[in-house]
Structure formats: C-alpha cells, structure tokens
Amino acid sequence: MQKLTSQADWIARARTVLPAGGFGNFDPGIVIARGEGSRVWDEDGNEYVDYLIGSGPMLLGHGHPEIIGAVLEQLPKGMTFFANNAKGIELAEAIVEAVPCCEQVRFVASGGEADMYAIRLARAYTGRDKVLKFEGGYHGMSAEAQMSLAPEVRINFPQAIPDSAGIPQGVADQMLIAPFNDLTAVEALLDENKDVAAIIVEPLQRIIPALPGYLQGLRDLCDKYSVLLIFDEIVTGFRLAYGGAQERYGVTPDICTLGKIIGGGFPLAAIGANTEIMQHFDKSTVGANKWLMQLGTLSGNPIAAAAGLKTMDILRREGSYERLRAIGKKLQDMQSEELSKADIPHQICGDETLFDIFFTASVCRDYRTAKHDDPKRNEAYNATLRHHGIFKSAGKLYPSLAISEMDLELTKNAVQAAVRSIHA
C-alpha cells in the first residue's frame, strides 16, 4: 500500500470509511498528526497554538513529561484488568478529598456515560421519573441528554424536543425543559410536577455563566421540593478550581459528574455523591429492586487513573489556577480590545478558564440570547484564526497551562488579522 503523506489523502480515505468523513467530534477537514506542549501539527505539517486541547482534558498541554512518566511506569504493570486496581482506588480517594459532594465515586469511561448514570441514580434514589434540564445544556449522548440541546425552533417550555433521530416519545414525556438563569421558571415547574427526581445543570452552561445567586437558588429549590441537584462537572471539574464549580461558587449538589481532566487525556469519568445515594450501586445493601446495575470494560482503567492522578498532583501545586486564570484573562482582553477598537459589537462570555465571543451587543444569559447577530461573522473570524495558526472550535476557547508568552503573542497577531477580516 502506498504511504499516505498529505492531509488531503487522509481526508479522502476518511470519507470512505467514516460517516461524514469524521469521528463526529470536530471539523473533518483537518487531520491532527501530533501534539506537543501548547502546539499541534496537522498531517501537512502546519503548526497551531492549541486552544481546543482535546475539548478540555489536556489542561497541562500535550505530552507533559510527568504524565508520560506516570503512564510509562504503569504500562508494564498492566493496561487493564476489569478488576479493582490500586491506581483507580488512589484516584477515587483524591477525588473524594477534592470535591465537596463526593463521599464515594463510581468510574465509567466517558462523560456522557457518567451523566446517563447520574440521571438513573437520581431516579433510583427518589423513586421518581421526571428530570428537569435546561435548554441548550449539554450532558452527553443519552436519550435524556439529547432533549433540547440545540433546538432550531423555539417551542414553549417545558416541552422537550429531541435533537436526534431514534429517541422514543416516551423519553421526551419524562423530561422538563426550562430556560437557564430563570429561577421563577424552575420553581413553577417544580410546583406543578411533583414527580421530578432531579435537576441536571452545567454550573457554567457551555460558556454561559450562572447569574449571581442562581446556583444557590437551584440548591434551595431542590431542598424545598425534595429534588436532587446534579452538577454536570465534566468540563468544570478541576478547571474552574481544584474542587471544580462546587468550590468556585460555594454550592454543593447532591450528585456530580466528572471527566476530561481526571483522566489526564485518557478515557475516564466518574459519578460522585454521598454514601447514602451511592449505595444504590451496591446490591447487597439496597436489594435487587433498588440496585442500579453498572459495569464497564474500561471503568477505572489503571493507565487513565495514573495519568489523572499525576495531573491532579500537578494542579495542586501553588499558583496553578492563578496562572491559568491570568492566561485566560490575557486572551479575553486581547480580543475584546481589538474588537472594541474596530467598533465591532461583542460579548466575552464565560470564565477565564473557558470562554468565547458572541458577536452581539445583547447580554448572553441563556440559550436563546447567546447568539451571534451574524453567524457568518463568527465563521469568518474563526476561519482567519485557523489560517493564522490558532486551533480552536467555533464556540469555545480552552486556555491551558502550557500556553507561553510567545503563544500569546502569536495569538494576538492572529486576532488582529481576524478582526481586520470581519471589519473590512
């Protein structure tokens, strides 16, 4: 077989064997060959400053020597066992120590899997069926999560709209949809529906921040109506702070899900809660009728656990989060300054550790208001950034601790070019 060398060849080959030519995650028009530190290279050798960082997990950058060392130490001892292993137990201990709501955790292989089990766990514990989620909230690929994730048509709340084919109507009937950042709407739904098991929410919804007091308001409403509060911290866990959004905002949910960073770049996620709730994973304690069956071939994988443990060890070091926020603030400011100089309406939306730009003069507070006035402007802006060596998604920018002053200077030059491209 002839060796393929160009990116165009790889793209053509992918189109033959992959639906839509890709893995379903990112632009299939680019094929990444390797990553190192803050940079990635495509198959044509083009170099980029990486602000996608694998959609979040590579908070320390690619190929961090201490992570590689931890993985290489574990590799000859075994790659997977489908049994308890010391690294997985150590990782569980570290998570329980760090995350306020966690007294116990159960490992799975992906964030979407963790969210699915969190919803099922809430139903098992409460004996209720309905779940309230927020329009635009992302919680993986389960049938429940695919309700009103990105609806193209505005439908009256609380009707749930499936974003995927293949989901039975019965799933939609058990889901209530509310606008984010609206406590009045949530209370009205809880008052009308006495069979709600849980509210599931991203503490930072995609990149939309919770209004001051909103998360505490959800906590109070859940207590008032005996509903469980689930924080989806797949993205925010160990990013907003070492203890995640729970530490950052001072609000403790009943259940949380964690992923991305806790696997150090390998497939690993977890569900965490207090012992009383988590006992539903223990058949000998709760009995067959209340037992939540869960197993997975790679759950608690020792390679992923070793990488996650070392990542968490590095993040605990003094100044890690201060530096991450300082990098994020510089990235926010450089874009806002250039756009303001060009009189281009915009909003920086998110947290210093995760954010992006909406090209609008309106305040972005929920799914329906977090929109570009002209989506083509955003497309042109991001296309120009890519052309000038900046690798990011069209809707998020992930700072990492690998970003250097040189990276920031290169990014600033790319931003200036991108602003010129949409100001002309």
Catalytic center residues: 138, 232, 260
Distance separating alpha carbons of residues 269 and 290, to the nearest angstrom: 23
Element (H, E) at 118: helix 111-126
Secondary structure class of 66 (helix, strand, coil): helix
Both tokens of 330, joined, read: 């510089």
Calculate Rg over the CA atoms of the chain: 22
Which residues are 399's β-sheet partners?
none
How remote is the C-alpha of 332 from its chain's centroid?
20
Distance separating alpha carbons of residues 424 and 173, to the nearest angstrom: 49
The closest alpha carbon to 263, from 111, 376, 406, belongs to: 111
The closest alpha carbon to 201, from 227, 229, 160, belongs to: 229
Which residues neighbour 344 within 8 Å (Cβ) at sequence distance 6 or greater? 359, 419, 422, 423
From residue 206, give the alpha-carbon distance in Å to each of 24, 142, 343, 370, 394: 18, 17, 26, 10, 13
From residue 137, give the alpha-carbon distance in Å to each of 83, 88, 140, 143, 361: 34, 30, 9, 13, 23
Angle at 408 between CA 316 and CA 32, to 5 degrees: 85
* Per-residue exposure over 160-181, b if at least 16 CB sit within 10 Å of its own CB, e if not: bbbeeeebeeebbebbbbbbbb
Cβ atoms < 10 Å from Cβ of 344: 16
Residue 108 near residue 301 (C-beta atoms within 8 A): no
217-224 own/partner pairs: CB under 8 Å, 24+ apart: 217/183, 217/186, 218/183, 218/186, 218/251, 219/251, 219/252, 219/253, 221/183, 221/186, 221/187, 221/190, 222/254, 224/190
Distance separating alpha carbons of residues 140 and 310, to the nearest angstrom: 26
Both tokens of 412, joined, read: 């600033």
